[in-house]
Amino acid sequence: MRVLVTGGVRSGKSRHAEWLLRDRAAVTYVAPGPTTSQDHDPDWAARVAAHRARRPATWTTVESRDLPAALSTGPDAVLVDCLGTWLTGVLDERGLWEAPVVEVTRAVRDLLDATAAVLTDRDDVVLVTSEVGLGVVPAHRSGRIFRDLLGTVNQDLAAVCDEVHLVVAGRVLRIG
């Protein structure tokens, strides 16, 4: 089963995603945001460490923005947490925040298409993402670009998932 877990920040998405895979002996946990070895973000490193501490020791953490490769890691279940940090990392890594919208969209579309192609050949995948389309319109261009692109990412990957789970205040609503 492929599941996309979405919701607001600190809504309980990660805990729910981990719960979905609780019976798996081995899980590859993909952290696609900043890599602690390259980006030296102490807040991100602390977040990755906190997630590691609450998971079984048999789960493996992979820090990588290469989602197609991470989804191809082998027979274990895969949990990707989170697509929003992945998108931010991609835009940072490629210097796309100030690029023309067409260029930004094309770059993300290429990565998204490759990810969706690999995802369709997998089972036992849980993707975590943030729902950003329910709030106010961001005041800055970067916020609008992020919101619009993450909405596209969420829609495209939800289309190849079997279910979408919306998490609000720790409660889960299964959609489709």
- Give every CB contact of residue 138 below 8 A, 6+ residues apart in sequence: 144, 146, 147
Spatial distance between the Cα atoms of 40 and 105, rounded to a whole number of angstroms: 27
Tokens found for residue 162: 């079997």
Q: Given strand 2-7, what is the order of strands in its sheet?
A: 60-63, 27-31, 77-81, 125-128, 2-7, 163-168, 171-175
User: Which DSSP symbol is given to 72?
Assistant: T
Compute the half-sphere exposure of residue 98: CA atoms within 13 Å on the CB side of its CA.
1
Q: Is 51 a catalytic residue?
A: yes
Q: What gap in Å lies between CA 5 and CA 8, rounded to an integer?
A: 10
Of 16, 51, 140, 165, the active-site residue reads 51
Tokens representing residue 64 in the block: 């990588």
Query: What are the strands, taking DSSP E only, across the chain?
Result: 2-7, 27-31, 60-63, 77-81, 125-128, 163-168, 171-175
Residues designated catalytic = 51
